[in-house]
Amino acid sequence: MRRLLPARFRALYLAPVLALVALLAWSLASPMGASPDDDYHLVSTWCANSARTAECAPGTSATSRVVPEALVRAPCFAHEPKISGACQKTAFNLDPTPTELTERGNFQGAYPPLYYATMNLFTGPNILLSVFIMRVVSVLLFLGLTVALFLLLPRDRKPTLVWGWAISTVPLGLFLIASNNPSGWAITGIGSAWIALLGYFETSGRRKIGLGIVFGIAALMAAGSRGDSAIYLILAIAAVIFLAFRREKTFYLDSILPLALVIVAVVFFLSARQTLSGIEGFSGVEGFSGGSGQANSVNPSTTATDTVNPLGLLFSNLANVQSLWAGVLGSWGLGWFDTPMPAIVAMGSLASFVGIVFVSLGWLTWRKGLVMAGIGVVLWVLPVYVLTKGLDPVGVEVQPRYLLPIIVMLAGVAMLSARGRPVRVTRVQWILVASALTLAQALALYFTMRRFVNGGAPGGFYLDSNIKWWWDIPFSPMLVLALGSLAYGGLVFIVLREVTALATTEAPAREVELSRG
Give the burial class of 335: count Cβ atoms within 10 A of its Cβ; 0-12 exposed, 13-18 middle, 19 or more buried: buried
- How is residue 327 annotated by DSSP? I
Average pLDDT over residues 395-399: 91
Q: What is the mean pLDDT of the chain?
A: 90
Position 441 scores a pLDDT of 98
Give the C-alpha distances (Å, rounded to integers) separating 109 from 200, 398, 485.
33, 20, 39
pLDDT given at position 512: 42
Q: What is the pLDDT of residues 433-491, one digit of tens each?
A: 999 999 999 999 999 999 999 998 876 789 999 899 999 999 999 999 999 999 999 99
pLDDT band at residue 400 under the 50/70/90 scheme? very high
Residue 285 has pLDDT above 90, yes or no: no
pLDDT at position 2 over 80: no
Residue 422 has what pLDDT? 81
Residue 43 sits at the vertex; the CA angle it makes with 40 and 44, to the nearest 5 degrees, is 80
Whole-prediction pTM value?
A: 0.92
Q: What is the pLDDT of residues 311-327, one digit of tens each?
A: 999 999 999 999 999 99
Mean pLDDT of 360-383: 95
pLDDT bin (cut points 50, 70, 90) of residue 517 is very low
Taking only the tens place, the pLDDT of each residue in 186-235 is 999 999 999 999 999 999 999 999 999 999 999 999 999 999 999 999 99
| 379, pLDDT greater than 70 | yes
**Model confidence pLDDT, tens digit, residues 76-91:** 999 999 999 999 988 7
Q: What is the full DSSP assignment across 355-387? A: HHHHHHGGG--HHHHHHHHHHHHHHHHHHHHHH
